[in-house]
Amino acid sequence: EAGVAQSPRYKIIEKRQSVAFWCNPISGHATLYWYQQILGQGPKLLIQFQNNGVVDDSQLPKDRFSAERLKGVDSTLKIQPAKLEDSAVYLCASSTGTFVYEQYFGPGTRLTVT
Partner 1 sequence: DQQVKQNSPSLSVQEGRISILNCDYTNSMFDYFLWYKKYPAEGPTFLISISSIKDKNEDVSFTVFLDKSAKHLSLHIVPSQPGDSAVYFCAARFGNEKLTFGTGTRLTIIP
**The amino acid at 64:** R
- CB of residue 81 to partner 1, shortest distance in Å: 26
Interface stretch with partner 1, choices 13-21, 61-69, 70-78, 105-113 (CB under 8 A): 105-113
Residue 1 lies near partner 1 (rule: CB under 8 A)? no
Shortest separation between residue 92's beta carbon and partner 1, angstroms: 8
Q: Does 91 bind partner 1 (CB under 8 A)?
A: yes
In a 13 Å sphere around the CA of 36, the CA atoms on its Cβ side amount to 17
Cα torsion 25, 70, 54, 88: sign: positive
Other CB atoms closer than 10 Å to residue 95's CB: what's the count? Answer: 20
Of 59, 57, 69, nearest to 21 by C-alpha is: 69
Site membership for partner 1, residue 53 (CB under 8 A): no
**Which residues contact partner 1 (rule: CB under 8 A)?**
4, 9, 40-45, 48, 56, 91, 93, 98-99, 101-108
